Amino acid sequence: MASVIEIHRQNEALIARLESMSAAELAALKADSVGIYLQAMWSMPTFDARDGTLDGAVASGKLGLIRDSQLRDRLVEWKARVEDSTEEAGELRAAAGRVLGRMTELGGPWGGDTPGIGPAFTNPDLADMMRHFPSGSLTLAVNDAELMGAVREKRLRAVMYLAALLGLSDQAN
């Protein structure tokens, strides 16, 4: 969970830096840096809390058999936080999908001849494919209002997901 939180924080810093760059700074970026920024625009790491046993206890209606009320309350709170983070993760994935869709329309990092966004999710080498992308692609991305609107929405969803995940992390500790 800590690594997912850290990746979100790094992505947020990269996108904030990207939005503050001048056209000259964008043009001067080396190809291996461009991919890092492009990846930060759509990246959506998530954490899957495995709580099947708790699901079973709740579904059975026997959670009340736990006599320690503090433990029972914490289990119920945990379940609610997991559900919140799962819902936020779904919204984050959808927003990231819109970013990828627009990147693809612009001839995104994995080739403009690929319709839709499916290959981006199924191709394990996407990050490698993005590493050596020309800076002009980043300039095109930053200057596209539709793409940057989708990136901003994805950033907002990431902040909301991160808040849910931090609550889950705090309770776990």
Q: pLDDT digits over 118-161, tens only?
A: 444 444 455 555 555 555 677 888 888 999 999 999 999 999 99
Alpha-carbon distance of 61 to 118, in angstroms, equals 40
Counted domains in the chain: 1
Question: According to the model, what pLDDT value does residue 54 have?
Answer: 67
Note if the pTM is more than 0.75: no
pLDDT tens-digit readout, 22-56 = 988 988 887 777 778 888 888 888 887 766 666 66
C-beta separation of 40 from 131 below 8 A: no
Domain that holds residue 67: 2-172
